Amino acid sequence: MVRHQKDVNGKESLVKHALAKRIRKDIVSGRLTAGARIVEGTLGKKFGVAQGSVREAINILAQEGFVTKDAGRSARVVSLSEQDVSHLYTLRGAMEGLAARLAVAAHADTGKLEQAIQRMREAVRSRQPEDLLDADREFHLELCELSANPFLQQQARRILLPFFAFVRMRVLSSGQNTAAWARDLDAHQRVLDLIREGEGEIAEQYVQRMMARFAATAYHNWEKAPVQKRRRSAAAE
């Protein structure tokens, strides 16, 4: 009986993770658009699975930031307006700048930050935007972890996971390549160098300026690329 229960639980786990992967693919490809409502019953019929499995898959995607889920309401694909993105970059500048200063005060081990930058560089060289986005997200999450402030760490995950999920959706659906990150790599390296040099206040100010620069161009680049892609396709026809 115990073994049977383990087999059942294992099968259910495979189903929910496989289903989450399929829904995630639909979100990233644009088949499920930003803000789209995710109806458990509809997806259950579409994929031939129990509604409970769909609910568990949605919970996985909510933890990853791809969907938002409020009590008593259907889940929706994460959606951010241009103003939302601008506000989030402002908040990130304050939050991650503080994290950089606290990391210096805590004499934090920056090894994982360096590893994330190395993965970013390799992803640029190999032209793998998904790998680049993963490494970029890990850099910023790790920066906040180095603050040694549990409240900052918790808020960082609440903000960064949906933010990077949205970025992934926009970048991959637009066909944007990794070349746009070349300058950003130098900025990430500068943050690491300042922390290692013990320049907490300068690191804080630099992160704030870096986020302000990102805010000025990021959303425009994400939205401009799909238009250019459509124009090229139309011209080819």
User: Options 3.40.50.2020, 3.40.470.10, 1.10.10.10, 3.40.50.300; which CATH number does 7-22+31-77 get?
Assistant: 1.10.10.10
Tokens 């620069």 belong to residue: 213
Q: Are strands 67-68 and 37-38 parallel, antiparallel or unpaired?
A: unpaired
Among 176, 166, 165, residue whose Cα is nearest residue 129? 176
Domains 7-22+31-77 and 82-220 are alike in CATH topology: no
The SS3 assignment for 37 reads strand
* Domain spanning 82-220, CATH architecture: Up-down Bundle (1.20)
Candidates 82, 80, 90; CA nearest to 220 is 82
Sketch the domain layout of the chain as residue ranges: 7-22+31-77, 82-220
Residue of 181, 170, 220 lying closest to 28 (CA atoms): 170
As given in the structure block, the two tokens for residue 27 are: 């979100």
Question: pTM higher than 0.75, yes or no?
Answer: yes
pLDDT tens for the 237 residues of the chain, in order: 334 334 445 555 678 899 999 998 888 878 888 899 988 888 888 888 888 888 999 999 998 889 988 776 788 999 988 889 899 999 999 999 999 999 999 999 999 999 999 999 999 999 998 899 999 999 999 999 999 999 999 999 999 999 999 988 888 777 777 777 777 899 999 999 999 999 999 999 999 999 998 888 776 666 654 444 444 443 343
**Crossing angle of the two packed helices 182-196 and 111-126, in degrees rounded to 10:** 170
For strands 75-77 and 67-68, give the pairing: antiparallel
